[in-house]
Amino acid sequence: MRKGSLVGFMTVALLQGCAGTFAPPGPAAPDWQTGAASAGSPLESARLPPFDGERRVVIEPLRGIKKVDLVTGPKDAAKVEPQNDLWARIRRGFAMQDLDNALVRRKTREYAASSEYLQRMFDRSRIYLYHIVEEVEKRGLPTELVLLPMVESAFNPMARSPKHASGLWQFVPGTGKRFDLKQNSWYDGRRDIVDSTEAALDYLTALHRRYGDWQLVLASYNWGENAVARAVARNRRAGKPIDYSSLKMPAETRSYVPKLQALKNIIADPAKYGVELTPIPNERYFTTVLTGRPELDLALAARLAEMPVREFKALNPGFSRPLVSSPKGLRIVLPSDKVAVFHENLAKLDRGRSASAGGTRAPRVNAPHVHRVVEGDTLSAIGRRYDVRLADLRRWNPGVDVLQIGQKIYLEESR
């Protein structure tokens, strides 16, 4: 497990943790339809966009999600909670102070009026929610934080804001690095479900240590901790209250907590707002797996797990290239019921032939992100294979106009 660097919050220059959040839909022209990151739009199953690491939308819901049986109780019971329903577990963990004002009521109406948008977002969240709930509860945090990716990205791990925030939790590059989220042309930890959740909860926990008020914590996550600190200091000097509602802040931040509160209101009592909240099994959906190998083709990994590539990518959105490599051994995420078959098929593959995908021989790599030239290789063909620009290959490998068998071609800048 990584440990985020949480020292020196009072002196570290602000790197805004969440730039460009997804606004709730409005009745006339829903702003989630016009945003730069298309987190709310569905993806046609017949057409898979290029795996370019930025503008894809996760298929939802994935196959294999079980249905939850409802409790059978007295017919006249006022409310009957579903048995084994993750939403019920989330409700039980609500602990933040409620905010009730005209803006909250308006945001609640807007969300409730956009049932299709809500349903897409809820469906998309199904494969991620259990993991986030587990991590939130381990830290003793309020489960309202589980809903934060709905505000941030509509639960689309490929969402990217105009300010270059990325992932479920919408980390900007600087804050991502501050919390040890690796970012390069091969991998972006801001999109990784496991790593980004750990980093976000580290950040939120540190903010709560500083402010002791969850509404100020959420404002800091959106606006920046130092910006909130300055606003608090101004009010204190002027003898004014220093709570969230009393601070002067940008319109986006002013709406930020009301959006979360609106979603909390709907999830707490969906029937009141005419929303159908499909139960989610209160059980683990995915598991992290160490492959024991330094490189792997994503299409091959999906085949070994006997699952569609698009579903594999939905669980592993941090990878930006078709072939992934890690000198310390590759970690992937698989549906829990696919782990055994993955290891079984991987063992068969290792016994029978070298790692391959689609019948093509996988490149031999003796160092991270290095290709060994084989007969018939050209620099342009190598670039296409690894999705690397020809200009970059030439810059990283000076004097490679003529290739020789066995020659090493570096696929990223040497350090």
Just list the catalytic residues: 152
Give percent helix, percent strand, percent coil of the chain, each to the nearest 5.
40, 10, 50
Distance CA 94, CA 98 (A): 10
Beta bridge partners of 335: 286
Which residues, including other chains, have CB under 8 Å from residue 214's CB and lie 6 or more apart?
A: 96, 97, 142, 144, 208
Q: Where are the beta strands (DSSP E) in 268-352?
A: 286-290, 295-297, 323-325, 331-335
What is the per-residue burial (b if ≥16 Cβ within 10 Å, else e) of 161-175? beeebbbbbbbbbeb
Cβ count near 49 (within 10 Å):
13
**Exposure on the CB side of residue 324, measured as CA atoms within 13 A:** 26
- Half-sphere exposure (Cβ direction) of 359: Cα atoms closer than 13 Å: 0
β-partners of residue 124 are none
In the three-class reduction of DSSP (H, G, I as helix; E, B as strand; rest coil), residue 174 is classed as: helix
CA distances from 26 to 23, 43, 75, 258, 284 (A): 9, 22, 37, 14, 34
Place of tokens 């540190």: 206
The closest alpha carbon to 36, from 154, 153, 160, belongs to 160
- Residue 350's identity, in one-letter code, is D
Give the helix/strand (H/E) hosting 199: helix 193-211
In one-letter notation, the amino acid at residue 361 is R
Burial tier of 37 (Cβ tally within 10 Å: 0-12, 13-18, 19+): buried
**Which strand (E) or helix (H) includes residue 215?**
helix 214-223
Contacts of 74 (CB under 8 A, 6+ apart): none
Q: Shortest CA distance to 207 belongs to which of 215, 197, 217, 199?
A: 217
Could you tell me how many helices (H) and strands (E) the chain has, helices first?
16, 8
